[in-house]
Amino acid sequence: MKKLLLYGVLFLVAVSSCRKDNDHLFNETPDQRLENKLNAYREQLSGAAYGWKLLLEPAGGGAYSFYMKFDDNNRVRMVSDFDSGSAANLEESSYRLKALQQPSLIFDTYSYLHVLSDPDARVNGGEFGLGLQSDFEFFFSDSTLSDTIRLTGRVNGSKAILTKATQEEAQAYTGGNFNVTLFTGFLQKIPQYFKEFTINGRPYDLTINPNTRKVTFTWLDDQGNVHSFSSTFYYSLRGIELVQAFGADNSLITGFYNPAWSEATHTVTADLGENTTVSVEGVINPVAVDKDAARRWWQRMIDEDGYWVSLTGFRVNGVDDAYGLTDIQNFVALSFFPKYGTSGGVTYDLAGYLMDEDGQLTLSFGAAFRAPTFTADGRIRFGAYLGDLGNIPDDALDPYGNTILKMTESSGFYLVQTGDDEYDMVSASDGQSWINWFAP
Amino acid sequence: MKRLRNYFLWIILAIGVTSCGKDDFNPADAENIVDLGGGTWAKGDIDEWISDSLITPYNINVKYKWDAFEDLGDISAIIVPPKEDYVIPILRAIRNTWIFPYIHVASTTFFNPISPKLIYMVGSPAFEESGAIKLGTAEGGKKIILLAVNFSKTKEMEGYSAADSSWIKQMFLTIHHEFGHILHQHTLYPPDFKNLNPDLITSNWQDYSDEEALRDGFITAYSMNTIDDDFVEIISHLLVNGNTWFEQMLASIPDGVSRRGTTKEQAIARLRSKKSIVENYYRQVWNINFSNLQSQVRAAVEEALY
């Protein structure tokens, strides 16, 4: 009886194990479905008659815009808003659709997209070995809409979004009409360092850093408290676009569009979206000042026993390196050493000239100043000119003297911290001259 | 009864076996395997050039397009693919300075069977965490990975200046270095070479400058890594930089004794021995006139760069 039972089980196993019902959830094999998906993406990409706009937010920060036209032979032509050259010159490279772990879009020869990923920091101003931590291989994260495709970078997880372009956009991008300095170019014509616009009677400071692609608004509320809002931005055909819109009182700022320069008032007018137009003007005193910045800047190099460096000296009334420091033979940089030394019982700061002396970076000469004072409203006022250190070469006399005169202006300077290791020092007398200092 | 049961068992087994007979495999079905794509692309000028100039005559394939799954050995740094307009000029220069001289002095029957079968091109160098910048690497004689393609301009390219020559010269050195490894892995160099300076071989070669290495009788600091590397560094530098350069290097060794106790005379003698062992090795093992090969490589290098 036991054996019979065993045979019975064996019979059941033999019969049932051979069930070959096709009871799959899908009608096709995974490979077939993957292939269909890749083909669908390929048709979607190359089928867009006027190409695509791509907005890329690298994992390392910032936002960059591209225009891309895919054909069905693995070729893509693109421009990018990285700089004026990449915006104007359409370049062709190669792309592929491939199943990595999931359907993926791979840009497989060097293009403007790879500029952001390049580990050579000289290419993109990023970090050596990392670049801007961007991506050039993307997973399709979502493509439910026919004119929008979301992508995620495979290596760093950068976010990207493709949006179908219109015929007018395609013509502008491919015709060399993408001008990334449309708004910022006008902004630079304003002679003052601080820029301001007013919405509903409230003034806002506007700070734009093209290197980090960050725009910052600073304002005072009704009680006089300082507020600020920052967003990354990128360039488009009509100006700059904020990645995160900013609600300024009752107006929504999504970007600065269709800018125009007024030579008469030295102002830039721009649309903010939603029918709001503002006029950006230069001001001597900003809405809000970082009151600790001046002392922080000065104290840091005492704590670190180091010095600040400027490669170009002062910009004055719209002229970079107005005093011609870079024309001095063998000039490398202007440096600033707080509490450099003591002379006759007076501790002095030094504005030193770093020169290339036979391949050696040398502090050749400099101007000594008495100790600075700091005002309650956040300015630094350098002390009186004390004397020279070293021998000043003939071709440096004018740049040297003019820099001393500028630095000893009695109204002093505001310090604006623009990065971890970087400050702008802005003349408080007219707001039209400033110098960039960074920690070497 | 016992017999009956056995029959029963056989029947069950028969059902089990026959009913599970799977469909026969038909080789023609292989064509129905779904191609997931991405492995092929519309061929362009570059693909055509590679096919005509390297694959067909020498059976060397080149991958210049990014492949996320390419085995890069010990390279883990972030890298990017090459610029398309650099691919052909660089490959042409490599062909002229490496393949052509070997074939002229020896033959394709010598070269083709032992040449590496794949060149993988990468646009950027590998910036390693140690701070080192890697320019090339090879795997077991099968594959050469060429880094820093986007840095390496040749004379035929727009905007070339003499300053650009250092990168591409590194690339030539890499190729000849790796090919040297293939040669000695095929037939080892004579033991004399191993006995020249075994005490000075060190994996801490990075602690020494090229000048210090030269004073100890090594053509580069990297030569001190292993005896194999010493052998192929001598080969690659003799071929790419030429004999005049080699003599200049010997003449530049200063008087006195090196940090590790080598005199100027010892260093010069050691380098001359290395050179003559290499020359003999090429003649005896491969029937190649080394100085003839050297002048052809050097001429091609100058043609490509100056």
What confidence tens digit (pLDDT) does each residue in B213-226 have?
A: 999 999 999 999 99
How far off is chain A from B71, nearest CA to CA, in Å?
15
- On average, the pLDDT of chain B sits at 88
Question: How far apart, in whole angstroms, are the C-alpha atoms of residue A282 and residue A431?
Answer: 8
The span from the first CA to the last CA of chain A, in angstroms, equals 92
Q: Which CATH architecture has domain A30-174?
A: Beta Barrel (2.40)
Same domain, B48 and B150: yes
Residue A35, phi then psi, degrees to nearest 5: -65, -40
Are B283 and B290 in contact by the 8 Å Cβ rule? The answer is yes
Q: Cβ separation of A106 and B68 shorter than 8 Å?
A: yes
Q: Which residues of B touch A85 (CB under 8 A)?
A: none
DSSP state for residue B223 in the 8-state scheme: G
User: Which pLDDT band, with edges at 50, 70 and 90, does B38 fall under?
Assistant: low
- Position B24 pLDDT exceeds 80: no
Averaged pLDDT for residues A184-209:
93
Give domain status of residue B29, yes or no.
no
Strand-strand pairing, A433-438 and B61-63: unpaired
Asked if B306 and B193 sit in the same domain, the reply is: yes
Distance from A131 to chain B by nearest Cα, in Å? 9
The answer to the question of residue B179 being in a domain is no
Q: In the predicted model, is pLDDT for residue B128 greater than 90?
A: no
Whole-number Å distance between alpha carbons of B200 and B197: 6
Among the listed residues A46, A47, A45, A67, the one whose alpha carbon sits nearest the alpha carbon of residue A55: A67
Task: Provide the residue count of chain A.
Answer: 440
Question: pLDDT category, B36, cuts 50, 70, 90?
Answer: low
Average pLDDT over residues A303-310: 95
The predicted structure's pLDDT at residue A182? 92
- Residue matched to tokens 């109204």: A411
* Residue A240 region by backbone torsions, left for phi larger than 0, else alpha for psi between -120 and 50, else beta: beta
CATH 2.40.128 fits A293-438, yes or no: yes
pLDDT exceeds 90 at position A123: yes
Residue A231's nearest CA partner among A247, A249, A250, A251 is: A247
**Partner residue opposite A110 with nearest CB, options B20, B78, B150:** B150
- Residues of chain B in contact with residue A107, where contact means CB-CB under 8 angstroms, are 66
Mean pLDDT of A379-401: 94
| Mutate which: B36, B46, B48, B80, vs A, most A CBs within 10 A | B80
Q: Do B82 and A31 touch (CB under 8 A)?
A: no
Share of chain A above pLDDT 70, in %: 94
Question: What number of other Cβ atoms are within 10 A of residue A303's Cβ?
Answer: 8
Domain A182-283, CATH: 2.40.128.50
Coil vs helix vs strand at B179: helix
Residue B156 is predicted with a pLDDT of 86
Q: State phi, psi for B61 to the nearest 5 degrees.
A: -95, 155
* Chain B residues whose beta carbon lies within 8 Å of the beta carbon of residue A109: 64-66, 81-84
Q: Do A74 and B41 touch (CB under 8 A)?
A: yes
The reply to whether B61 and B147 lie within a common domain is: yes
Cβ pairs bridging A and B (under 8 Å): 123
**pLDDT tens, residue by residue, A150-159:** 999 999 999 9
Please indicate if any CB of chain B lies within 8 Å of the CB of A13: yes
Residues A403 and A323 sit within 8 Å (Cβ to Cβ): yes
Q: Quickly list DSSP for A353-421.
A: EEEEETTEEEEEEEEEEPPPEE-TTSEEE---EEEEESPPPGGGHHHHHHHHHHHT-TT-EEEEEEETT
pLDDT of the residue at B25? 64
Strand order in the sheet with B61-63: B61-63, B118-121, B143-146, B136-139
Task: Please write the tens of the pLDDT for every residue from A243-281.
Answer: 999 988 888 999 999 999 999 999 999 999 877 899 999
Question: Is any Cβ of chain B less than 8 angstroms from the Cβ of A128?
Answer: yes
Distance CA A159, CA B22 (A): 47
**DSSP strands (E only) in chain B:** 61-63, 118-121, 126-127, 133-134, 136-139, 143-146
The residue out of B157, B177, B211 marking a domain boundary is B157
Residue B253: DSSP 8-state: P
* B41 Cα to chain A: minimum distance (Å): 6
| Start-to-end Cα distance in chain B | 99
Tracing tokens 């997931």 back to the chain, one arrives at B36
User: What burial class does residue B263 get, using C-beta atoms within 10 Å of its C-beta: 0-12 exposed, 13-18 middle, 19+ buried?
Assistant: middle
CATH number at residue B296: 3.40.390.70
Q: Which pLDDT belongs to residue A180?
A: 95
The reply to whether B196 and B299 lie within a common domain is yes
Residue B19: pLDDT band (50, 70, 90) is low
**Contact criterion met (CB < 8 Å) for B82 and A119:** no
Can you tell me the distance from the alpha carbon of B280 to that of B271, in angstroms, rounded to the nearest whole number? 14
- Find which of B78, B90, B130 to mutate to test the A interface (most A CBs within 10 Å of its CB): B78
Same domain, B239 and B145: no
Of B38, B125, B151, the CB nearest to A98: B38
If one counts the domains in chain B, the total is 2
B286 belongs to a structural domain: yes
pLDDT at A310: 96
**What CA–CA distances, in Å, run from A345 to A120, A348, A420?**
49, 9, 34
CB contact under 8 A, B36 and A34: yes
Residue B292: Cβ within 10 Å count: 13
Is the pLDDT at B90 greater than 60, yes or no? Answer: yes
Of B69, B78, B150, Cβ closest to residue A129: B78
Say whether B42 and A14 touch across the interface (CB within 8 A).
Answer: no
3-state class (DSSP) for residue A285: coil
* Token pair in block for residue B77: 């740094």
Look at residue B32 in the predicted model and tell me its pLDDT: 66
Query: Is the pLDDT reported for residue B68 higher than 90?
Result: no
Q: Which among B8, B34, B80 is the nearest to A35, CB-wise?
A: B34
Whether A224 contacts A202, CB under 8 Å: no
Cα separation, A20 vs A4, whole angstroms: 27
pLDDT average, residue stretch A34-54: 92
pLDDT at B1 over 60: no
Per-residue confidence band for B17, with pLDDT thresholds at 50, 70 and 90: low
Which of these ranges, A45-54, A307-316, B161-170, has the smallest mean pLDDT? B161-170
Percent of chain A with pLDDT over 90: 78
Radius of gyration of chain A (CA): 30
- The residues on B that touch A, with CB distances below 8 Å, are 5, 8-9, 12-13, 15-16, 19-20, 33-39, 41-42, 44, 64-69, 77-84, 123-129, 150-151
User: What is the residue whose two structure tokens read 């160098």?
Assistant: B125
Do the beta carbons of residue B143 and residue B174 sit within 8 Å? no
If asked whether residues B142 and B88 sit together in one domain, one would say yes
Question: What pTM value is reported for the model?
Answer: 0.83
pLDDT mean over A202-230: 92
- Is residue B166 in some structural domain? no
* Residue A360 Cα, gap to closest chain B Cα (Å): 20
pLDDT (mean) for A352-358: 93
Statement: residue A99 has pLDDT above 90: no
Q: Check residue A74 and give its pLDDT.
A: 93
If pLDDT is split at 50, 70 and 90, which confidence band does B6 have? low
pLDDT for residue B155: 86
Residue A429 has pLDDT above 80, yes or no: yes
> How far is it, in rounded angstroms, from Cα A12 to Cα A18?
10
Range of the domain at B122: 43-157
Could you give the CA distance from residue B118 to residue B63 in angstroms, rounded to a whole number?
7
At residue A318, the pLDDT reads 86
Q: Answer whether B16 sits within 8 Å of A97, measured CB to CB.
A: no
Cβ-Cβ contacts under 8 Å, A97 against chain B: 37-38
In order, the DSSP letters of A356-373 are EETTEEEEEEEEEEPPPE
Instruction: Answer whether residue A27 shows pLDDT above 70.
Output: yes
Q: What is the CA radius of gyration of chain B?
A: 27
How far A208 CA lies from chain B's nearest CA (Å)? 30
Q: Is A119 on the interface with B (CB under 8 A)?
A: yes
Q: Strand A137-142 relative to strand A103-107: parallel, antiparallel, unpaired?
A: antiparallel
Contact A210, A40 (CB under 8 A): no
Looking at the complex, report in whole angstroms how far the Cα of residue B198 sits from the nearest Cα belonging to chain A.
36
User: What would the mean pLDDT of A104-120 be, rounded to a whole number?
Assistant: 96
Q: Are residues B191 and B303 in the same domain?
A: yes
Tell me the average pLDDT of chain A: 91
